Amino acid sequence: MQNNLRTLNNFRPRKVLVIGDVIIDRYHVGVVNRISQEAPIPILRISHEKDRLGGAGSLAQNLSRLGCQVSLCALTGCDDNLKILKKLLIAKKISTDLLINDDEFSTLLKARFLAQNQQILRVDYEKDFSLSAPKIDKIVDSIIPKIQEFSAVAISHYVKGFLQPLLLNKIINETKRLGIPCVCDPGRGVDHSNYKGITTIKPNRLETEGLVGFKLRTTADFIKAATILKKQTEAEFILISLDEDGIFYYRDADDYKLFMVGSKEIFDVCGAGDMVIAILTAFLANKQAPIDIIPLANIAAGIVISRLGTASVSLSELMRASMPKAHRKIISLADLIQIRKNSNQSWSFTNGHFDNLTSMHIKFLQNMAKYGDFRVVAINSDQSIKKQKGRFPEIKQLVRAELLASLSSVDWVVIFDEDAPTDLIKKLKPDWVIKGKSHLNRDLIEQRAIDEVSAKLEFVTDVVVDR
């Protein structure tokens, strides 16, 4: 656990290139309450639709969530779906400068139709496509020189006609020449010799069984399969994703380990593989050791499979999951500053004594959840309250912190000794500072700090909260 925290504290997000097959995942959500008279099929009455990034886009999104500066290189059509794709990527702070547009190709889209959270149909908008040799040469000439600008490359291969063997070979050879880690989620049914020289590949259990010709049930099976894959790919190390059983790491006959998954509840394994690849890529880019990264990748996979549907994991969630359970939301200022530096999410901040916690305080914090992706509550220490009130609070600081940490609307709780949160605001640089109605039209000691960090000051006026 301490090693995980050390690995996270040493992490600095880098510039990462994702190359692969990008897909728009479209969800048509509705209800079915009758059968068609035209044919024995359900009639889905659509209530809403939503688009999400899929394929290489999902991997790029995960890396962006970890704070990395991400560029996506993918083949797209010159169509309306390209506009939708760019909008989705820009919203996730992913660069679209390296997208390759081809009028003979159609931007990939998978439409899923869901009724009462049950998928009843999937429609794939794609056509058989293979890049011609001249087009591959043109892509090689434009993309390969760009690789030197990045600290790592992640390949997401869905076998949609873009990542031809020659292109894969050129990408991997260039990363090897530059000493840049290259991580791959391999394509189903692809000859793994196409990935020769890569840093690592991470097939899942089913893919591995199809490649080696036998079931993976025991550690001996894992070793045998990994040995075959390493010989085929000449990778530095092999990872096999085993879903709820964890991740198997193999470098050689004397260096291997099965990392058990952390999640006890499994709702959906969808997206876990992309999250593992994202963690590996981001931390290898930071020149951290695989043996230190894999436990974090496993924690992230455990978080993902405990949720319904695809999900990504932030550094702050990883940090929290790596802490002792009782204190995962209670954090030191130094650790919180480090998390903030590595976060590209929006934060809101409030502070107070919280020494007489009431339902009004809880409503106030629930309203605060409207602002930002993460909410920080700073509470005055016992000594700070004694200095201001002349007596210690009846509820001690750790108990107050634990009570606040138990609220779903609170992400982090930090204890501070100063009278005012001026220094905290300067160091944390929140996007919002939230105050109660009692502070409206009053001078705030921390106003200069709020202005200095360009935070937005918001007042929750429908709840009256004293300090």
Exposed / middle / buried, residue 15 (Cβ in 10 Å: 0-12, 13-18, 19+)? middle
Hey, is 56 helix, strand or coil?
helix
Strands (E), 56-143: 69-73, 75-76, 94-95, 100-101, 108-115, 118-125
HSE of 149, CA atoms in CB hemisphere, 13 A: 10
Cα distances (Å, whole numbers) of residue 5 to 295, 307, 337, 343, 402: 11, 23, 14, 16, 21
Q: Whole-angstrom Cα distance, residue 14 to residue 132?
A: 33
Active-site pick, 21, 185, 274, 382? 274
- Going by C-beta distance under 8 Å and a sequence separation of 6 or more, which residues neighbour residue 372? 345, 346, 347, 348, 430, 431, 432
Helical axes 80-91 vs 56-65, angle rounded to 10°: 20
Residue 274 annotated as catalytic: yes
Exposed / middle / buried, residue 150 (Cβ in 10 Å: 0-12, 13-18, 19+)? buried
- Catalogue the active-site residues: 274
